[in-house]
Structure 1
């Protein structure tokens, strides 16, 4: 770390550009006019193609230091992948505060409306390895590092409002169970196997988590369209020392949208980088991912007011009971320059907090506050994690921590301990009233015990039942389908039966339908008598926009130039992403001479990769294959309830009959409002009433 640059930040006001300015000192460009190859020691290299040998056909020589250094470095390029959340991607951006929260917290970045704080966000999948697919049925990570005036603050969120365990002691067992079988190392990135469901059936606190996993929230359409919760319960502490319980939530401005099960499975095969590609494309096109930060607040004196335990991470705080207060907006507007240096070496830790944010006795949080930093000590191979540029705070750091791997700063002090007299007892402690961190003086009483914190921790089914009650008929149908898909891979009939009996506690009818599909007996039990629902849990009323939806334009030669050009202009006006798809790359030409550049060819793209299709049709060299490709796109889009636009030259591909109602299909012929109507259909995204 450049010590002088760090010291320069001492009195510098942090803004949304501060982190980018700090990173500039680390950026290196190795290519370009006049750049000559050197070794890492600065030696100019004359030959980087052939090994040094004894004779033209002789053995390689040990004195070929260039080869040995090159190969030795290559052998050490990989670091251990994360045990969970191994696959992901990240981006930089800013968090802007809407309203002051000084009445509940002293955290500096939450004081003044309009304050902008630079951030780095990492999205990730939980189960799979680094090489797994983006669209796995899985929980997602949404980790945010705020580079604040008081040091870094890490907020580690998940795409579900609840977690799989109620105590950190069980986390390792849960991960062992959902990971690939230790004997075969298969299957990858899925819970569709015996071990996972055996664990689920025998650790029933996971029921609520599994309901979320089996729902459409387990397969987000995009990281830009995904809610996220840190799941743990924290404290806000204000200047007066008053504590308020808090949970956070990120809400995407584009709404929460998901893939169908069939889409997720197919996309995982044809484009395993689907979510990463979407993040890159959207930022490059200026369609920046945006989320609002909400908080749910509970007064200290109301801790035991509710019919759930506020410290239990397998339960959520219903928004209808504890409203979400929106306090700011996150915008991601810059991609990383180097994936390994920034994304892979990024480190997040729930114990990285700032004054005004503190811990509760949440049993999972207590374990997470240790586990994250410990695993990164192993993964990154150093105690100097915050020396790595992406993790480095912008503000000045003065510690007595010394040595270890990846130590860049040169500490010139003779004294490296506390307390001391030789350096006038510096670096000095900072009193809380001057910005030093002090833990909330929570009163603690009781005996050492391994008991659960309260009786409500044993209620595993009331909230899963509330979740089920909150779903629309379509959402319930999708949950059943996803259960069937996963349990269909479970070989043990005993495990399948146990799962059916377990989820009869959530809904007996649901469990009975599943039992019939997976070849076991109907459940004997009944669901818990909970009739409440939480409309906020359903995606039915989420915002819908055409903006940044992706449309494939299926086109050949001879199209109506004016009609197609006008339609594309309307789509562009609404921010719709357009890809021109045809038989071969180059250009297609309309009947009036209009030329359009082709982006993709049919053999290198797939209908599931698009949110909508616009069938223009036309003529090509291989008419039969062209028409077959269009019909393939049409059938897939129609089956997946997606909006479909039909140009006047494409009407022969689809006709209304007694077997289909063509819901969501918009025709351009004799329709001066085609562009606007097609945009409205794109915004709706799915037409569930289609036949």
Structure 2
């Protein structure tokens, strides 16, 4: 920071100490001019008008007025972190990209986000989650911009503005702010059969993740890998969480929203802050043109996935998030992802949705960040050397020297710097659309017949779920469609589409909405039955581990100190985190007379923020808790959200008042509880809520 001279003289000759003399940095304008008074604006007299001459005031107000940039149209609410990607497998036979060189470590920045809500919305609505990774490779930035769902609503980017307009808050009333349960979305979706597969995922627990750390990520589109010989292979990218998959349930998500608007953001920050670094494995599904042509769907259709049973996911690297951002605005808000950022060795396919995104993102970032030079913002700047002949523009921070601002030039022949040159040997080059053929042709506004099956994979997804997951999907459709108001034809139209997916699902939704079962909607192509896939189910991919999970332990005055110490130690050994909750902020006095500090106060630390709960009370403490609504709800919600409950004998009256019925998830405070705490008890659900 600019510092003024050590001393300054007034007109009367008095010498004053400078900021440097006092051992502090000088407060200056953005242009380095030291500021003498930051408390009062320049006025004409003591009570006169403020003068336009006051450049300190004008700069300060101007900057304040522009502290917020236009928020993202979608993915506005995000959370970011720094990390490293390490390539762990040699795939040089598939790609020449340096980022995939075995042992190569590449800096990354990752941003997770919701889609529909604004920047001031909450973390936990039913919504798709963005999963965008910026790799700062030594061959330039690679932005893998994806979601936590492997498919998308639409097949062609031309429909993207319609999707976003429909799912965002209704234009006339400005609500709902961050959800899809309203007329306009379901009107549009029910008229677009191609959305059906994505709707199955959106209505599943995939859109209610427990945390960013326990959700998958997908590149969504089909890309290509290109090796040194120029041979191309089709590829799908997957992120597999090391902690396994885990979700919340609908009632729990609603209560989490009330308990902690920043639930996912806080979880990510605190995990990194305490050294429990989140990790994902990068996987690829690689296939050739022959495989693609043999499938009953088009691999370029973003509403389709490649079943992992047909093409297993090969793990090739590990992503570790190990550093939180230093400044949320400078990094998480200003980061600009571009699907068009790819290094040599990776290429695009002819996916029409991907092709549209290549244009849209660049245009959006220019508008959002206010300058074509957004790549110079530190979070966006490549870590490798870069140079070209692009010049000037708003907020240009580089100072190119010499006359070379065009290419080709012969300035080097005259002893001048001629600037960078193209590098055919190492530079990016586009391969043919397929591995050996050119698919170009006449310019047409058509959609391939191979894109016309809208229901087979939706059926595959539904029939791959457990019974509990199917019930959640049906109940989600009922809830969302029940919010449709004036457009009375929409629920029936949506159910008629669902009849092409599964008749039982359609019947359950119709019964839940109390409407007659409609006729099946005509299908552009009759769906086929595909073999169910365990990879599509969250419940079949959850890990029975406490690692990365939290157990809330409720205590009161008189709680047995040994019981508390024992359960905390058991949770720690299982790699979980025990969080002590007490009625008062100061904690509670234990049976041995010691004061146990609490991590959270009962009224503000409900059980929905934990993965399991332990209840360790004294008889007097339990009697007090029977009169405390927050304590009853603490236990009641844990039971209703299908979590394990471990309790000592003295706590039994509280369990009885909360309506807890003994089952495999209700245990004593022993090793059985620690094992139970690593799972949910979905068999309990029909006894605690009505599902479709």
Say if 2:66 is the partner of 1:76: yes
* Matching of residue 427 in structure 1 with residue 419 in structure 2: yes
1:458 aligned to 452, 457, 461, which one?
452
Correspondence for 1:478 among 472, 475, 487? 472
Query: Structure 1 residue 365: deviation in Å?
Result: 1.1
Which deviates the most, 647-656 or 567-576?
647-656
What SS class does the counterpart of residue 479 from structure 1 fall into?
Answer: helix
The equivalent of 1:556 in structure 2 is: 556
Task: Give the secondary structure class of the aligned counterpart of 2:535.
Answer: helix
Q: 1:575-620 CA distances to partner (integer Å, 9 max, x unpaired)?
A: 2222221121124221112332112112222221121111112456
Taking the TM superposition and a 5 Å limit, the aligned residue runs for 1:111-510 are 111-112=101-102, 114-424=103-413, 426-433=418-425, 435-442=426-433, 443-453=438-448, 455-491=449-485, 492-510=487-505
Structure 1 pair 412–521 and aligned structure 2 pair: CA distance change class (3 A): same
The answer for the alignment partner of 2:566 in structure 1 is 566
Contact kept, 8 Å, 1:79 with 1:379, in 2: the verdict is: yes
State the alpha-carbon separation in 2 of the partners of residues 586 and 428 from structure 1: 65
Unaligned ranges ≥5, structure 2: 1-21, 688-692
1:641-656 alignment runs, 5 A limit? 641-654=642-655
- SS of residue paired to 2:217: coil
SS at match of 1:389: coil
How far apart in 1 are the matches of 2:245 and 2:631?
30
Query: SS state of the match for residue 688, structure 1?
Result: helix
The residue number in structure 1 matching 2:601 is 601
Decide whether the 8 Å contact of 1:615 with 1:630 is kept in 2: no
1:525 paired residue among 520, 526, 529: 520
Aligned equivalents of 1:154, 1:657: Cα separation in 2: 49
CA contact (8 A) 1:254 1:544 kept: no
1:630 matched residue in structure 2: 631
TM-score w.r.t. the length of structure 1 is: 0.90
Partner residue in 1 for 2:12: none
Provide Cα deviations, 1:328-384, integer angstroms capped at 9, x if missing partner.
Answer: 110001011001111111011111001110111111111111111110011011111
Q: Is the 8 Å Cα contact of residues 636 and 659 (structure 2) preserved in structure 1?
A: no
Residues 169 and 687 of structure 1: CA distance in aligned 2, closer, same or farther (over 3 Å) = closer
Gaps of 5+ in 1: 1-31, 669-673
Alpha-carbon distance in structure 1 between the residues aligned to 2:576 and 2:38 = 47
What does the per-residue CA deviation read over 1:32-84, in whole Å, with 9 as the maximum and x for residues that have no partner? Answer: 97344333233343433344445555544444433332212111111111111
SS of residue paired to 1:244: strand
The correspondence of residues 647-686 of structure 1 with structure 2, limited to 5 A, is: 647-654=648-655, 660-668=661-669, 674=670, 676-686=671-681
Distance in 2 separating the partners of 1:474 and 1:624: 33
> Does the residue aligned with 2:683 lie in a helix, a strand or coil?
coil
Q: Distance in 2 between matches of 1:155 and 1:679?
A: 38
Say if 1:651 and 1:625 are closer, same or farther in 2 by CA, change over 3 A.
closer
Q: CA deviation at 1:521?
A: 1.7
Normalising by the residue count of structure 2, what TM-score does the alignment of the two structures yield? Answer: 0.90
Instruction: Deviation per CA, 1:448-468: give whole Å up to 9, x if none.
Output: 211113x23111001101111
Provide closer, same or farther for how the CA distance between residues 182 and 33 of structure 1 changes in structure 2, counting only shifts above 3 A. Answer: farther
Is the deviation greater in 554-563 or in 101-110?
554-563
Match of 1:12 in 2: none
C-alpha separation in 2, matches of 1:336 and 1:660: 45
Query: For the residues of structure 1 that align with 2:161 and 2:566, how far apart are their CA atoms?
Result: 57
Report the Cα offset of residue 658 of structure 1.
12
Tell me how far apart the structure 2 counterparts of residues 652 and 146 of structure 1 sit (CA, whole Å). Answer: 55
Count of residues in correspondence between the two structures: 652
Deviation at 1:528, TM superposition (A): 4.3
Contact 1:643 1:686 in 2 (8 A): yes
CA distance in 2, matches of 1:479, 1:411: 57
Moved more, 57-66 or 262-271: 57-66
Measure, in 2, the Cα distance between the counterparts of 1:441 and 1:657.
Answer: 64
Give the whole-Å Cα distance in 1 for the aligned partners of 2:118 and 2:468. Answer: 32
Q: CA 1:641/1:400 → structure 2, altered by over 3 Å: closer, same or farther? A: same
8 Å contact kept, 2:225–2:345: yes
User: Which stretch shifts more, 39-48 or 201-210?
Assistant: 39-48
Tell me if structure 2 keeps the 8 A contact 1:560–1:649.
Answer: no
